């Protein structure tokens, strides 16, 4: 049942193209359509503030949603850990849309955040992988990710599906608010639809990443760096390594290096960097190249994840993992894949149970 793999997580990593395709299926018919939609077009038009609330990996999907929704819909988005949200008296009202992202649909903190938002008359839209779970039941609208059941405690295919689903919410909002023309919506949906294939070709990095995992498995710590959409990817890479390999791992926004974390760099410390798109963000790309030069000069072992044909960064990469060229906002769908494999394989090399890491539960139903 593990599809010939040693552990479910690898099977689930390989199921990501299908999870994405299933999540997108049926959501475009003359425009973007959501699932259980109990919010009117007028409700969506009136939204003047979006909060995304979630925990763990789902929170990282939320951070990515912010880049897409603000860019497409010109509405401010705040992303908050569900466990913090309701204790700080957030400013909510009828024109606030709260997007609750939860694979299980049962996470206690996220559920309580939803309940709090509703007492303040905010509109709540849930993104969940579990039909009929509590969070969708208590929300005004639901968008289901159709990633299928996820056995590994570490979220993989549900994460990619959550990103796709949040982007669908972004497109639906842009459509209702008129911040994108119908042909732009169709074009963007088409780009999303091309992602299952791009993720499928990214799976060819599994073997290469295995070799890398062997080299990194005795490292004292691993740092992850990124900018723009690469930043949440860095956080996700670090979370995966912590939870599966029990290694000290931190994700940073690369621009923060000089404000402290660069002091951590020492000889042979592995630093994993996800590069921005060369065409989409040439200035950011150049900045990251200079960050990498800086840390390499201080002895870091640089592991660079970048798009195929990125020759500018090659001289500074001790290890180079290439992923397909895709539009900037969609890059996390491909750059996350090697980070998932890395965490799983480092854990396996260290002799740990990849599917059932210690101290963790698949669904966290206590606060």
Name the residues annotated as catalytic: 362
Q: Quick one: which of 13, 126, 127, 154 contacts ligand M6R (CB under 6 A)? A: 154
* CB nearer ligand M6R, residue 295 or residue 343: 343
Least distance in angstroms from the C-beta of 127 to ligand M6R: 9
Phi, psi of 210 (to 5 degrees): -60, -45
Q: Helix, strand or coil for residue 40? A: coil
Residue of 155, 164, 192, 354 that binds ligand M6R (CB under 6 A): 155
Residue with smaller CB distance to ligand M6R, 53 or 269: 53
Please, which residue, 91 or 361, has the CB nearer to ligand M6R? 361
Catalogue the long-range contacts made by 132-137 (C-beta closer than 8 Å, 24 or more residues apart).
133/102, 133/104, 133/105, 133/106, 134/105, 134/106, 135/100, 135/102, 135/105, 135/106, 135/107, 135/110, 135/111, 136/36, 136/105
Smallest distance, Å, CB 11 to ligand M6R? 16
- Structure tokens belonging to residue 5: 């793999």
DSSP alpha helix (H) spans, 179-274: 182-193, 195-202, 206-216, 230-245
SS3 of residue 65 by DSSP: helix
Examine residue 363 and tell whether it contacts ligand M6R (CB under 6 A): yes
Compare residues 127 and 303 and give the one whose CB is closer to ligand M6R.
127
Residue 193's Cβ-count burial label (10 Å; 0-12, 13-18, 19+) is middle
Q: Determine the size of the site formed for ligand M6R (CB under 6 A).
A: 16
Minimum CB distance to ligand M6R smaller for 168 or for 289: 168
Question: Quick one: which of 23, 83, 96, 104 contacts ligand M6R (CB under 6 A)?
Answer: 104
One of 22, 83, 96, 103 touching ligand M6R (CB under 6 A): 103
- Give the binding range for ligand M6R (CB under 6 A) out of 151-159, 173-181, 182-190, 206-214: 151-159
Q: According to the binding rule CB under 6 A, does residue 198 interact with ligand M6R?
A: no
Q: Is 275 helix (H, G, I), strand (E, B) or coil?
A: coil
Q: How far is CA 17 from CA 129, 185, 201, 323, in A?
A: 16, 22, 9, 14
Q: How far apart are CA 117 and CA 122, in angstroms?
A: 5
Quick one: which of 39, 58, 164, 275 contacts ligand M6R (CB under 6 A)?
Answer: 58
Provide the minimum distance between the beta carbon of 104 and ligand M6R in the complex, in angstroms, as a whole number.
Answer: 3
**Of residues 106-125, those binding ligand M6R (CB under 6 A):** 107, 110
9 forms part of the interface with ligand M6R (CB under 6 A): no
Nearer to ligand M6R by Cβ, of 325 and 364: the residue is 364
CA angle 25, 28, 32 (to 5 degrees): 120
Tell me whether strands 36-37 and 141-144 are parallel, antiparallel or unpaired: antiparallel
Burial class (CB in 10 A: 0-12, 13-18, 19+), 344: buried
Q: Which two tokens stand for residue 354?
A: 């990849």
The smaller minimum CB distance to ligand M6R, of residues 151 and 325, is found at: 151
Is 179 a residue that touches ligand M6R (CB under 6 A)? Answer: no
Residues 229-288 contacting ligand M6R, CB under 6 A: 243
Q: Is 364 in the site for ligand M6R (CB under 6 A)?
A: yes
Q: Contacts with ligand M6R in 28-57 (CB under 6 A)?
A: 55-57
Residues that bind ligand M6R (CB under 6 A): 55-58, 102-104, 107, 110, 153-155, 243, 360, 363-364
């Amino acid at each position: 049942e593990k599809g010939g793999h040693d552990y479910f997580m690898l099977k689930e990593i390989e199921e990501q193209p299908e999870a994405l395709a299933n999540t997108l299926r049926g959501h475009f018919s003359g425009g973007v359509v959501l699932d259980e939609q109990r919010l009117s077009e007028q409700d969506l038009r009136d939204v003047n503030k979006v909060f995304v609330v979630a925990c763990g990996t789902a929170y990282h999907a939320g951070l990515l949603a912010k880049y897409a929704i603000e860019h497409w819909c010109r509405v401010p988005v705040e992303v908050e850990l569900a466990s913090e949200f309701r204790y700080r008296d957030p400013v909510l009202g009828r024109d606030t849309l709260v997007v609750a992202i939860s694979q299980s649909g049962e996470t206690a903190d996220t559920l309580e955040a939803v309940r709090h938002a509703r007492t303040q008359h905010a509109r709540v839209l849930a993104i969940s992988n579990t039909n009929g779970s509590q969070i969708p039941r208590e929300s005004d609208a639901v968008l289901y990710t159709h990633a299928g059941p996820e056995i590994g405690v570490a979220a993989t295919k549900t994460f990619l599906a959550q990103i796709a689903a949040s982007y669908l919410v972004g497109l639906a909002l842009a459509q209702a608010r008129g911040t994108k023309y119908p042909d732009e919506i169709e074009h963007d949906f088409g780009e999303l639809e091309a992602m299952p294939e791009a993720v499928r070709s990214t799976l060819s990095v599994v073997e290469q990443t295995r070799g890398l995992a062997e080299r990194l498995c005795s490292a004292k710590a691993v740092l992850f760096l990124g900018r723009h959409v690469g930043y949440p990817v860095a956080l996700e890479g670090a979370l995966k390594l912590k939870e599966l390999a029990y290694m000290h791992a931190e994700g940073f926004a690369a621009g923060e290096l000089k404000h402290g974390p660069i002091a951590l760099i020492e000889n042979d410390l592995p630093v994993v960097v996800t590069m921005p798109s060369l065409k989409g963000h040439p200035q950011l790309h150049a900045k990251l190249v200079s960050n990498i030069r800086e840390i390499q000069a201080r002895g870091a072992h640089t592991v660079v994840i970048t798009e195929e044909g990125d020759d500018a960064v090659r001289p500074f990469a001790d290890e180079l993992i290439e992923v397909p060229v895709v539009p900037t906002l969609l890059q996390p769908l491909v750059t996350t894949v090697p980070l998932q494999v890395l965490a799983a394989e480092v854990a396996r090399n260290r002799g740990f149970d990849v599917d059932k890491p210690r101290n963790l539960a698949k669904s966290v139903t206590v606060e």
